[in-house]
Amino acid sequence: MQKKIAEGGYGIVYQATWLNSNYRTKNVILKRFKNSQYSNKCFLKELKSNYYCNKLFLIETYGFTKDPKLDDYIIVMQYASEGDLHKYLQKEFTEIDWKKKIKILEYISSGLFVIHNENFIHRDLHSGNILVNNENCQYYEYAVGDLGLSRPVNDTLSNNEIYGVIPYIAPEIFKGSTFSKESDIYSLGMIMWELTTGCKPFANVEHDHRLIYNIIDGVRPEITEDTPNFYSNLMKRCWDSDPKKRPSVKEIYNIFFNWYGQLELIDQAELKRKELINSKKLGPKFSEKPHPKAIYTSRPKCSSIFSKCSSINSSNDYTSIEVILDIDIESSKSKLLGTKRKIEELLNDNSYENNGKLKTLKLVPGFPH
């Protein structure tokens, strides 16, 4: 039995029931990769990432299979009963006190630590990829998921693609730098802000080149009144425009231990949080209506592009620009014609590099192969 949950450029996600050899059922997620040359490459890359990062604090991967009729590859993964973090915040925001916010952040940071410790980079960290599970347990679990864009640190893409959700992408990426552990930390800073508000960053503006210019120029979401200083200080370090000034995930995790000595400040923050909620000044229910062109999905190889702009320090360096932006941004070559920069689309890159042998996960029993 399958239920379609979501669909992206190269795959479809289903909720399914797995009947194992002992005739016991288990809810699982099936990520089907549509049968195409590029999708098969995506499948192999995601399988590799899941193999090396299939550990605690990350969504578990049980294995893979193949549809004999459609010839599509399928990855079988852990089911998250509460959906993603954003949906969870929308539903439970008033009940998520400051102690719980910090606990959620610990889980997310632990998952990111596992990824970075394996010398991988997530590259697409946002609240839609943090999954919440409360199935068959007495407490909530928060796990980092969707490693489809994860790559080893030394695996630089030949055409410098930029994938992801604009508000969570670090400013240096828009200027031509490659994704890094530091850019993951920037994304974590945006998730920290989302935990304080229950809203996605920059939801009230169109996600176009103007937002990208603002991000490059250092514009960040407004910090809420109830946010304690020790939390906001770390958050601002995470989203610092200079990647060298951002803390490592190991440093972040060590900082958490100091927070347990801040119980009085946490209690004060909680009182202020309740006051703001009661006065209808905080929370997704009372936030500004999202802009219709604020889009929060990631799609590789979409038609939306943005110039690499490797020499850009701010939007003031542009005289004029020709750009088409939808949701994601893909790298392009920049031409300097006088003072005018043009955007060129790179759609014909079919190169694929695999410099090592892929250690495959086991085939899942009970599924067709």
Q: DSSP characters for 272-325?
A: HHHHHHHTT-SSGGGSPPPPTT------TT-S-B----TT-SSGGG-S-B----
Q: DSSP characters for 4-65?
A: EEEE-SSEEEEEEEEE-TTS-EEEEEEEEEPSSHHHHHHHHHHHHHHHHT-STTB--EEEEE
Alpha-carbon gap, residue 213 to 220, rounded angstroms: 12
Tokens of 9: 């450029």
What SS3 state is found at 361? coil
Q: Under a CB-based contact definition with an 8 Å cutoff, are residues 362 and 51 in contact? A: no
**Closest among 221, 216, 214, 225 to 235, alpha carbons compared:** 221
Q: Under a CB-based contact definition with an 8 Å cutoff, are residues 113 and 53 in contact? A: no
* Segment (H or E) for 214: helix 209-216
Q: Mark whether 328 is an active-site residue.
A: no
What SS3 state is found at 336? strand
Alpha-carbon gap, residue 160 to 310, rounded angstroms: 12
Residue 102's CB: how many other CB atoms inside 10 A?
A: 19
Alpha-carbon gap, residue 302 to 205, rounded angstroms: 21
Which residue is listed with tokens 């850009």? 312
The active-site residue out of 124, 184, 226, 328 is: 124
Residue 167 makes CB contacts below 8 A (sequence gap 6+) with 126, 190, 200, 201, 202, 207, 211, 215, 296
Alpha-carbon gap, residue 49 to 119, rounded angstroms: 11
Q: Under a CB-based contact definition with an 8 Å cutoff, are residues 7 and 13 in contact? A: yes
Q: Which residues are catalytic?
A: 124
